[in-house]
Structure 1
Amino acid sequence: MARLLTLGLLLSMLPAPTPTAVLADYQAEDATISQGAVESNHAGYTGTGFVNLDNLVGSSVEFTVSAAEAGPVPLTIRYANGTTGVRPMSVTAGGATQAKDFPPTGAWTTWMETTVTVTLAAGQNAVRLTSTAADGGPNLDRLVTGTPDAQPPTTPANPRVTATTSSAITLTWDAATDNVGVIGYRVYEGTTQVAAPTGTGAAITGLAPNSTHTYTVAARDAAGNESPKSAPVTGTTRQDSGPGPVEQGPWTAYDPTFNVQERGCGDVSDLTFRLTCSTGSGDQRAERRYATYTGGTRQFQGFFKITSMGGTRISLKQTFKTTGPFFMMAVERGGRLYAVHGGTTIASGATLGTTVRVNTVHVVGSTHRTYINGSLKHTTSSPGGDFYDKFGSYRTNSGQGPVTVEWSDIRFWRK
């Protein structure tokens, strides 16, 4: 019995556990509204809408808030203020009134949270927010009782470029997590926000052709907490698709199927082709091979830019038969373009970072012509037989690596 009494005495001396604050969510659209309306025309709200108060003194929203016991309770108010000025309100609870300012949030679709502490009685309490200026209050989304959420979401992982056009770059990333919940993301170029999607992807539009952009992504929660920014991801828009066929038509555009070829240290990611090793031995390639066809006249157009080059060639190959012969365009380290078969110098100007437009016109069984930036540079005889296009990055024993080539605006025509 004495041991039991001693144990009981020890337990009674331990500090009582701190109670965990219970968060309760009160939507503004469910509250009592005076001189205001429930709307849903500005994205980013929670629940089914938000309250837009009339622009006058006295417009208000009154919440019925429960408290388990009497005492001070923090209230977190989620709001949007798309103006450039503060929207002041009064907060009345438990017979006491205090002033509360709601600073601008930057846009009506940008929601922020602010906290005020009031004293509540045990049970049901009226909490009223009232406009105190002629412009009215901000748009009100919800009120949350309890300790505000101060924990940011996790950092979005694996940001990547999934598509490009001449004016847009599409990004995707892995979802972030949060102790309460992620409500959206922000995409930044430097310190400038360029997109604010709710899902794990965004298309950044209005970009210049052949321009390079680096982005980071951050997750955000309803409390306004923002995660650390992700690792940067870089994408380049395609060359403007304005240039078309270089010879008289009529030409018909078509889109042949292709397969990806990776050999040795070759790596293909969309239209970026890399040889990652430095050795020149063996067959190293990263290419797209387009479907074969027979007969007629075909035209290929593409733009390439060498972004890193320790080696001696990129590839643009038209193979006239399954086993050859073929025409191949190559680039020396100094930027000279030449035709591998015949060794003919085509042009200079494929230096690092320079975008080069290439058109090839192949008349099956007759001639094969190569144009650089719209000018005819090379003509060779064309055997008959099957024919297919390959482009990317290629090296045999004569080359050195590594090399990275970005192709863009790949187009095909026939007649």
Structure 2
Amino acid sequence: MFVDVAKIYVKGGDGGNGIVSFRREKYVPEGGPAGGDGGKGGDVILVVEEGLRTLLDFKYQRHFKAPRGEYGKPKNQHGANAEDMLVKVPPGTTVTDADTGEFLGDLTRHGQRLVVARGGRGGRGNTRFASAANKAPEIAEKGEPGEERNIQLELKVIADVGLVGFPSVGKSTLISVVSAARPKIGAYHFTTLSPNLGVVDVGDGRSFVMADLPGLIEGAHEGHGLGHQFLRHVERTKVIIHVVDIAGTEGRDPWEDYVKITEELKLYNEKLAARPVVVAANKMDLPDAEANLEEFRKKLDPSIPVFPVSGVTKEGIQQLLYAVADLLDTLPDVEETVLDEVDVTERKVYRLEDDEDHFTITRDNEVFVVHSPKIEKLIKMTNFDQYDAVKRFQRIMKQMGVDDALRQRGAVDGSVIRIGDLEFDFVE
């Protein structure tokens, strides 16, 4: 089964908790704080594995959670950092945030890596909170939560040459003749439901990768037929072989077929219109092919080469392969030309630096709700069973001006305050 789109959930590992500990050694009656920091949580990292050709594995496993960091230890020993979680993806995978649409990365080369969810830092042990005013703090942080997000994986097949054309024009037959690929071939539309890749040996020491892509129909750029399932794969190809049923065996005009497919490619992505094109006038062994070819040449731009071929008799196939190989030799490497064909500046996301102390207060009936990413993370990292930790939390809230803001909004002694999942009473 060929799967080229997948949506998965990823979460970086939580940081390990810091601990409260004190030196307990002989002849050291008043040992100081000795609680170590927790270790960092593991990152979730996508890694390109060139042996993969599909996103099928993500059909069965959709959740990836990296391990958390180790807890801190006595004697000021830090907990170990967790190992990163490596998730293998095929070359040609683009990654976006499924919720925001933000572009995260384009993975094309074997071994290339992309961090999609970072692990949280380890919580600090009580040693880190010692001061002149408090030499024996009984406070330690919990580990920072790891990042979590839903991401969309989209595979765009990486091939040197892509075969395009209406259904049943002979694309599958052509690739089966020139390579070891064995696609399903049938006398009905959409026999090919997923891309087939084949390595073509030209015969003079040169070779290239050819992709037999599912047939197009009019309106494909809007998703009709196989629509975008097909078109996304054309973006990666360096050369397009436009296969035309020159004999018009299904009653269609070969020239109209060519014009419609060319228009669909342009409507999907204007840059595809500038991609080098070679026309393979297929089914030359059938009646009316010669006459149709002559009319076709009259209408076609003279700069576009046309090769009369027959997938059945193999007529003209070798000349087509030589021409395509020569054309590929003149083009830059795929990383320079086809690397998603999108200007990086088009996908940059610019943000203003967030004010860490910014917060807002709303009302939910009688409850005052405080919204602040900084405070919500602070709550997750605070151990409210520790008296010193509670006092620190209250002090930070006061320094940020949350107490005064709540009073201005009408909070009085005993009012219920909600921050994230935590609710508590306002105390003057």
Structure (1 or 2) with the greater helix fraction: 2
TM-score, with length taken from structure 1 = 0.26
Structure (1 or 2) with the greater strand fraction: 1
